[in-house]
Amino acid sequence: MNPLTDLIRDEIVARGPISFARFMERALYEPGCGYYEIVRPVGRRGDFYTSVSVGPTFGELLGFQFAQWANGDALHLMEAGAHDGRLMADILQCLQNHWPELWPKLECTIVEPSPARRQVQAQTLAAFAGKIRWVSGLEEIPEGSIRGVIYSNELLDAMPVHRLGWDAATQAWFEWGVAWEAGRFAWRRLAVAELKAVRNETLQVSQAMREVLPDGFVTVACPRAADWWHAAARRLGRGTLLTLDYGLTSEEFFAPHRTSGTVRAYFQHQIADDVLGNVGEQDLTASVNFSVTQMMGELAGLATRALQTQEQFLMGVFQQTLARPDKFPEWTPERRRQFQTLAHPQHLGRSHHALVQSR
Contact residues for ligand SAM, defined by CB under 6 A: 36, 42, 50, 52-53, 80-81, 83, 87, 111-113, 153-155, 158-159, 228
For residue 140, the minimal CB distance to ligand SAM (Å) is 12
Is there a contact between 51 and 352 (Cβ–Cβ < 8 Å)? yes
Q: What is the DSSP letter of 260?
A: B
Between 39 and 179, whose beta carbon lies closer to ligand SAM? 39
State which residue has the least CB distance to ligand SAM.
81
Beta bridge partners of 109: 78, 133
For residue 127, the minimal CB distance to ligand SAM (Å) is 19
Strands (E), the chain: 18-19, 75-80, 106-111, 132-135, 146-153, 162-167, 172-181, 184-189, 218-221, 236-248, 264-267, 270-271, 283-285, 288-289, 303-309, 352-358
Indicate the pairing of strand 288-289 with strand 162-167.
unpaired
Between 58 and 99, whose beta carbon lies closer to ligand SAM? 58
3-state secondary structure at position 100? coil
Indicate the pairing of strand 236-248 with strand 288-289.
parallel
Phi, psi of 17 (to 5 degrees): -55, 145
The residues, ordered by sequence, that sit 6+ positions from 253 with a Cβ below 8 Å of its Cβ are: 219, 220, 262, 287, 289
Between 188 and 264, whose beta carbon lies closer to ligand SAM? 264
Is there a contact between 108 and 149 (Cβ–Cβ < 8 Å)? no
For residue 206, the minimal CB distance to ligand SAM (Å) is 31
Q: Which of 243, 302, 286, 230 is nearest to 78 (CA)?
A: 243
Q: How many residues does the chain have?
A: 359
Between 97 and 114, whose beta carbon lies closer to ligand SAM? 114
Indicate the pairing of strand 218-221 with strand 184-189.
unpaired
Between 34 and 148, whose beta carbon lies closer to ligand SAM? 34
For residue 137, the minimal CB distance to ligand SAM (Å) is 7
For residue 43, the minimal CB distance to ligand SAM (Å) is 8
For residue 293, the minimal CB distance to ligand SAM (Å) is 14
Between 42 and 307, whose beta carbon lies closer to ligand SAM? 42
Between 112 and 175, whose beta carbon lies closer to ligand SAM? 112
For residue 155, the minimal CB distance to ligand SAM (Å) is 5
Between 180 and 228, whose beta carbon lies closer to ligand SAM? 228
Residue 154 CA to residue 50 CA, distance in Å, equals: 8
For residue 324, the minimal CB distance to ligand SAM (Å) is 26
